[in-house]
Structure 1
């Protein structure tokens, strides 16, 4: 399992379970050559390979609303039908805005996981892991990382089809570069729209992953479009802290 499979492992419990099992039985050094093809310096290979093998298998680091390092202030109004509130983890140094009504969950491999209580298949999760490189650019370019991300999805036995919807780069308040990807995944578990935001800052790899389960045949319905629009808004607020 590569670190990009961790990035593309949406918060569907079956997918997380599958990747966790694979992580426990896969040697970390196996994918060093593959990671190297992304332009990652040799000094970062061992760290990222180790992350790929262990991050989903270990469940000892969950940020919760009652965690002193994780602050969830009162809800603040935001444009659109959903009311968003700020979630800030001062220990892991990141923040984002999430729907105030969503539940905060613990999940193996996730620093924090938010779920829509009315639609449990809709979720946003964040993972944080230490690395030895200082920026996402050292990991690879936007197109290179995006291609690797989709290839990781295609390699899964459950995948029927995957297609990139969009990709973009933005700069956070601290100057960190964030890569953003949106893609449609059709699998034996159903069709989903997946959003990933990936960055490296202060030698930490941050991955936000958001998922919305679509209708059986398409992601074009009005309800799906509204749900995905909300996830785009949430993903757009994700940033690292100085």
Structure 2
């Protein structure tokens, strides 16, 4: 595996906890997003809506698409192509990074389990990490024929406990990484977290390259 590609893969984990987000204008040009719901950041927050409508976000330049809640803010983040953040629960976000690579497919990084092991190992090496557990992994084939690897794990760190979802693929010599993050309450990732993480799973399942 090329060293640059391995470094980029390791950055998946780093992307899940980086700070310093700044506001930007809504998507321009070929990128678009429309319609949906929000959550709340305190423990006394109102329950999440039973169903959240999703609307398309398409980036023709970088050649990917996904569905997102339109009420989420579009933010700027170092290294990210786009970041969506729930305005009423700022710790809930979905971001996409795109980087050039010299390999033709995600399988050249490794099989599903091998790439997952690298991802978790990158998390474990961070000084802030107290523990990390893989909750599930799967793979699917997108409309372009590219294979997408999907991972969900729980991260316990000095910054709190999070549920993280990652979707990784390679298409047209570009490495695409979708990172979705939900910060659990102090008590842990309970029933409420499951409902909210369910929305992130819906969003991640719509991610595709074109």
Bin of the TM-score, shorter chain as denominator length: 0.7 to 0.9
Aligned length in residues: 193
Give the Å deviation of 1:75.
Answer: 3.1
Give the Å deviation of 1:70.
Answer: 1.3
Q: Is the contact made by 1:160 and 1:186 (CA closer than 8 Å) also made in structure 2? A: yes
SS of 1:121's equivalent in the other structure is: coil
Q: Can you give the 5+ residue segments of structure 1 that lack an aligned partner in the other structure?
A: 18-58
Give the Å deviation of 1:6.
Answer: 1.0
Q: Can you give the 5+ residue segments of structure 2 that lack an aligned partner in the other structure?
A: 1-5, 38-49
Q: Deviations over 1:195-226 (max 9, x none)?
A: 0000000100000000000122421x222111
SS of 1:120's equivalent in the other structure is: coil
Aligned to 2:209: 240
Aligned to 1:9: 14
SS of 2:103's equivalent in the other structure is: coil
Give the Å deviation of 1:105.
Answer: 0.8
> Does the alignment pair 1:121 with 2:121?
no
SS of 1:223's equivalent in the other structure is: helix
Aligned to 1:227: 196
Aligned to 1:143: 113
Q: How many angstroms apart in 1 are the aligned matches of 2:7 and 2:174? A: 17
Q: Deviations over 1:30-74 (max 9, x none)?
A: xxxxxxxxxxxxxxxxxxxxxxxxxxxxx9xxx9634213122x4
> Does the alignment pair 1:154 with 2:124?
yes
> Does the alignment pair 1:71 with 2:32?
yes
Q: How many angstroms apart in 2 are the aligned matches of 1:7 and 1:166? A: 16
Q: How many angstroms apart in 2 are the aligned matches of 1:64 and 1:144? A: 38
Aligned to 1:179: 149
Aligned-CA RMSD value: 2.3
- What is the TM-score of this pair, normalised by structure 1? 0.74
Q: How many angstroms apart in 1 are the aligned matches of 2:165 and 2:25? A: 22
Q: Is the contact made by 2:57 and 2:68 (CA closer than 8 Å) also made in structure 1? A: yes
> Does the alignment pair 1:215 with 2:199?
no
- What is the TM-score of this pair, normalised by structure 2? 0.85
Deviates more, 1:3-12 or 1:226-235: 3-12
